[in-house]
Chain A
């Protein structure tokens, strides 16, 4: 298959009819179409799949150009068309897909009509002819099945998914498609014809040729076998469904397991945060109560505390002046007056008016009742003691409370910081409970599917045994009948041929697979020069293996660049093999080369890898069409240089209109 040209009419941002010719020159087999972001590269790439399969990856399924749509007016119509002309197995084809859009009385677009797909070809006489409408999809499937198309019409942005699909081999359709590309379809069709699943294969048709009228027992047994076959077919079908479902479910389970592990800490953090918030609250409370406490102590005890020094000094003054040495117990001024009047002291000393004893006794009057201030002083001293004791702890108390207040800011900031740190950690974390639920669900699904498979395997074994017994019984019965003997012989031939062809096919198939593995590997190593190699299993699953690491033989996780390299290598490998088979005329394998249409394929690569990819692709593929943004495009053109046969540029007029111009 070689793409010759494509023309678009009113397809998304391509207003009016615009065409692009692709280089078909075997030497200059590269067509580069360059454009800035949003100019229509992806649209053009999608135009291929829209035309050939009627599907796009766009979110909006309306493909009619916006400017055109606005100008239709009420009750009018406009149509979108993409036309691709190509050569496939020496026949010229023109594929056309058209879709009509009509407007209502206010000029709004109605739901578009279904698309109409036509394939036109040049017949042996050189006349243009159309493929029957009922056969167009089938023919398209022969030319390039949709399952494979996405690997040839290749979108750089979907690379992650594609890599996964390729590495898992995905479906039987995929393996079949690869086989058909590699030219093994002649084998598979012959095998299907002889002894495949369908009810009208050669071997089965002999079965119905048995003359079973004479022997109702045979008919009965054959009914039984048919029932068993139907059930076996159901089981087989269910097996492949289970495979897919189990893959999906275990992938999901694993995904959630990883998420759970990643988010396990979130609960812990949330608790920690709650604790810290409590601490902040109690810190705030203690600041408030300490502030109040400082003020309260200051008001209640401040004055007395400040007076401590004065109290001390006052007491000292009084003590030094003997003022504390107060009075004589139980002596009253009357006692002294009495002694002065009788002129003799208690000790017998005479008291003379104005003499020393007289003066001394008069002094005593100051300290005894009623003139005494001793009582006042005594009371004063008691107050001194009380006040100094009561206020002794005032400053310590205030210091302690004040330190709580003054450390508040630092403590508060510290706690806030810790909370902030936790908040950051929690940002983006998911609820573990929800994840756990999902994990449990998917894990349960996997278990269910596994036990279903075990159950089905047992049933299958039992049915096969029963079926074999029926077969044996039939054979015994049939051999009795000459006609049936003949049919049995033919059937034996057919069965033998089937088995023989199957063994040849198996051999050839594994040969092809090994060869593909080799080819893919050599291309992979050229593109991605790391210590990895690729391994293909029977289902065409790709595994990436480490070459130079002893003791590890499993599949390894891949980087983006590795993934893309794997895809390039795989596609390039398939294309290369297909092309080589094509030139080998004697081969039993018949196949056709395919072009490689790539949208933004290089963005994930560094310069070195772009160079190796640019080197490798035009050599392996018969035709390369690249849609690329300007910066990558320049590197690509530098590297492919002489291989480029056609150049185009997207000229973006506005968001809804782009024109294609040659360069």
Chain B
């Protein structure tokens, strides 16, 4: 996984194009398609939003991520993949099974469905990002404000309850 060219298609291609377009003379929300691809599965999972590949009205050309970029960022992508596999209880109820999916089955023929699930989260995340960041924006200030509001919303929903100490404490468990 993460070693072949990836293409966004249909409505998602359109949305990714907009997410990576310049909104003023020099700034764009995402610098590369890859950056969208790296954030989208996390967002999709957190918002529990999945989406299927579509072709839109058929007129939209796919937009690609080259294999080289994917290979270079393979570790980060694998990390995200593992997180999702470990946490998605709908996909597998028991922790043993999820650990297997995250670690043992990663990049194996058994992972086919899981990889499809990952892509569904990627596409769902693209939908969320588009809706949150782009849809209502008309000016430079709007894009930036949407970005901040989105982050603030995330902070409220998830991050405020967690502090670095909790994570460090959990990590220490592993080092015994």
Interface residues, chain A, with chain B CB atoms under 8 Å away: 291-292, 294-295, 298-299, 302-303, 305-321, 323-326, 373, 376-378, 380-385, 387-389, 392, 395, 398-399, 402, 405-406, 409
Contact = CB atoms under 8 A, between A and B. Distances in A.
B103 A376 contact: yes
B170 interface: yes
Contacts of A299: 30-31, 35
B96 interface: yes
A312 B171 CA distance: 10
A314 B162 contact: no
B59 interface: no
A316 B170 contact: yes
Given A291-B144, A298-B29, A309-B162, A315 B46 contact: no
A interface majority secondary structure: helix
A405 to B, nearest CB: 6
Contacts of B21: none
B171 A381 contact: yes
Contacts of A377: 99, 103, 174
B171 A303 contact: no
A403 B168 CA distance: 30
B7 to A, nearest CB: 20
Contacts of A309: 46, 158-159, 161-162
12 contacts: A291-B140, A294-B148, A302-B151, A303-B76, A306-B39, A309-B162, A317-B87, A323-B99, A326-B174, A373-B99, A398-B151, A402-B147
Nearest to A399: B148
Nearest to A313: B87
Given A312-B162, A389-B164, A395-B151, A318 B99 contact: yes
Contact of A292 (B27, B46, B75): B27
A319 B170 contact: yes
Interface string B136-163: 0000110011011001101100110110
Nearest to B79: A383
Given A299-B35, A309-B46, A310-B83, A315 B167 contact: yes
A291 B171 contact: no
B148 A308 contact: no
Given A314-B83, A315-B171, A395-B155, 19 more contacts: A295-B29, A298-B29, A303-B38, A303-B42, A305-B151, A308-B158, A309-B162, A310-B42, A318-B86, A318-B95, A321-B95, A376-B103, A380-B79, A380-B82, A380-B103, A384-B171, A395-B152, A402-B145, A409-B141
Given A291-B27, A385-B171, A398 B148 contact: yes
Contact of B95 (A323, A385, A402): A323
Nearest to B95: A321
Given A309-B46, A383-B79, A294 B144 contact: yes
B99 A315 contact: no
B69 interface: no
Contacts of B140: 291
A384 B167 contact: yes
Q: What 5 pairs across the A-B complex have the smallest Cβ distances? A: A309-B158, A315-B170, A321-B95, A303-B39, A381-B174
B172 to A, nearest CB: 9
B141 A324 contact: no
- Interface size range of chain B in the complex: 35 or more
A307 B83 contact: yes
Contacts of B38: 303
Interface of B: 24, 26-31, 35, 38-39, 42-43, 45-46, 75-76, 79-80, 82-84, 86-87, 95-96, 98-99, 102-104, 140-141, 144-145, 147-148, 151-152, 154-155, 158-159, 161-162, 164, 166-168, 170-171, 173-174, 176
A399 B158 CA distance: 17
B133 to A, nearest CB: 10
B150 to A, nearest CB: 9
Contacts of B87: 310, 313-314, 317
B171 A306 contact: no
Contacts of B30: 299
Contacts of A305: 151, 159
Contacts of B164: 388-389, 392
A187 B108 CA distance: 136
A83 B164 CA distance: 109
Given A291-B140, A381-B174, A306 B42 contact: yes
A368 B28 CA distance: 48
A324 B166 contact: no
A492 B99 CA distance: 145
B42 A307 contact: yes
B18 to A, nearest CB: 15
Contacts of A376: 103
A384 to B, nearest CB: 6
Nearest to A392: B164
Contacts of A324: 170, 173-174
B171 A310 contact: no
Nearest to A396: B155
Given A311-B83, A324-B173, A398-B151, A306 B26 contact: no
Which of A309, A321, A326, A382 lies at the interface centre, i.e. has the most chain B CB atoms within 10 A of its CB?
A309
A325 B172 CA distance: 11
A326 B95 CA distance: 15
A325 B82 contact: no
A310 B95 CA distance: 15
A272 to B, nearest CB: 29
Contacts of B161: 309
A398 B153 CA distance: 13
Contacts of B166: 312
Contacts of B95: 317-318, 320-321, 323
B2 to A, nearest CB: 14
A299 B45 CA distance: 18
A275 to B, nearest CB: 27
A326 B79 CA distance: 19
Contacts of B42: 303, 306-307, 310
Contacts of B104: 373
A295 B167 contact: no
A385 B95 CA distance: 21
A378 B83 contact: no
B83 to A, nearest CB: 5
Nearest to B39: A303
A330 B176 CA distance: 14
B14 to A, nearest CB: 21
A387 to B, nearest CB: 7
B168 A385 contact: yes
A270 to B, nearest CB: 33
B3 to A, nearest CB: 18
A399 B45 CA distance: 24
B167 A388 contact: yes
A302 B37 CA distance: 12
A385 B167 CA distance: 7
A402 B46 CA distance: 24
